[in-house]
A and B are shown apart, each in its own frame.
Chain A
Amino acid sequence: MVMQAPSATSQAPSTASPQRQPIAAYQPDVDVYDLGAEVLFIADLPGARADGIDITFEDGVLSVQAAVPGRDLPGRGVRQEYGIGNYRRAFRLGEGFDASLIAADYKQGVLTIRVPRLAAVMPRKIDVKVS
C-alpha cells in the first residue's frame, strides 16, 4: 500500500484535478459497508499484482489503482469475454477519516480496504449524572 502525498510540482492551474493517464482502465466491482467505526471496501481485482496496487487518500477521496499484467493466453483466440487492463476507482468519503490508519489486504484477487473514522467524529455516549 502506498500513500501518496499531494503533488506540489503540478504546473496546472488547478491541482485538484485528478491525474490523467492514457492507459485504458476498468472500473472494478466494489462492495462498500459502513461499519460505524470504519468503512469497509471490498474490490474485485482479478489478475492484479499485489505489488501493483496503489491506494491513495487525499482530500477525502479514496482512490484505488491496480496494474494487471498483459494477456498471455497462447495461441489464437476463440472466446474473449473480458478485457485485460488496469483497474481504477475512486470514492469520495469526505472528512472525518484517519488516513494514517487505513489498512489494505489483497487475497485471491480481492482487495479489502478498511478506512477508520477519526475518534473525534465517532458518536459518544454521555452519561447523565443524577444530582
Chain B
Amino acid sequence: MSLIPFRTKRSSGMESGSLATLADFRNEMNRLFEGFFSRPLQASPWFEPNEPGRWLPAVDMSENDTQIHVRAELPGIDPKDVDVSVSEDRLLICGEKKSEKEASGEGWSHRESHYGSFSRAIPLPETVDPGNVTARYDKGVLTVDLKKSPASASRKVPVLTGGK
C-alpha cells in the first residue's frame, strides 16, 4: 500500500495561484471602488457620455525649437463661445457647446455627442510668450500657435575639455 498524499504539489500550487489571482482581483476591485467613490460621478468615465457640462475636448500638441502648436477638436461650437487664455506655462481652453436641437417631446432620440460647458487646462512643455499667441477655428478644429519665450529657447552649450 502506498501513501497517497492528500494534497499534491501541483494541486497546492494551483491553489496558491488561484489565491494570487483572487488577491489581484480583490485589489483591482478595491482600486475601482476607491476611484468610484473618491471622484464625483460626472468625472467617472462610466458617466461621461451624454452628461451635459462635463466633457473635455481631445487635444494634440507638437513643438519645434521656437513654437508650440496645439490643436483641439471642438465640433459645432461657435468661435465666439470659445475662450483661449495663456499664461507662461499653461494654455486654458474653455467654452460652451450649445445643443443644436433639444430633444422634443415627441419621437425618440439618441445622443452621442457632448454638450455644455468645458474647460481644459493644458500644461505647456516650455514657457511661452503670452503676448505672442494666435488662435484659429476651422471646420470644428481649434488651432493655437504659441511662440516660445526667448529665455526658454534651447541654446547650444559648448562642452569644454578638461585640463589646462
Contacts and interface: CB of A to CB of B under 8 A. Distances in A.
A31 interface: yes
Given A31-B112, A33-B103, A33-B104, A46 B64 contact: no
A108 B67 CA distance: 26
Contacts of A75: 62-64, 67, 69
Contacts, number: 112
A82 B112 contact: no
Contact of B62 (A40, A47, A49, A77): A77
A15 to B, nearest CB: 29
Interface string A18-57: 0000000000011111111000101011111110000000
Interface in B49-74: 58-64, 67-69, 71, 73-74
B105 to A, nearest CB: 11
A48 B104 CA distance: 29
A45 B63 CA distance: 25
Interface in B105-137: 106-114, 122, 125, 137
B101 A47 contact: no
Interface in B91-111: 100-101, 103-104, 106-111
Contacts of B111: 31
Would you call the interface of chain B mostly helix, strand, loop, or mixed? Answer: loop
Interface residues of B, number: 36
Residue from the set A44, A45, A78 with the largest chain B CB neighbour count within 10 Å: A78
A30 B122 CA distance: 27
Contacts of B101: 31, 33, 40, 42
A36 B103 CA distance: 12
27 contacts: A29-B112, A31-B112, A31-B113, A33-B101, A33-B104, A33-B109, A34-B108, A35-B106, A35-B107, A42-B100, A42-B101, A45-B140, A46-B139, A47-B139, A47-B140, A48-B139, A50-B139, A73-B62, A74-B62, A77-B61, A77-B62, A78-B125, A80-B61, A108-B139, A108-B140, A110-B75, A112-B100
Interface of A: 29-36, 40, 42, 44-50, 71, 73-82, 108-110, 112
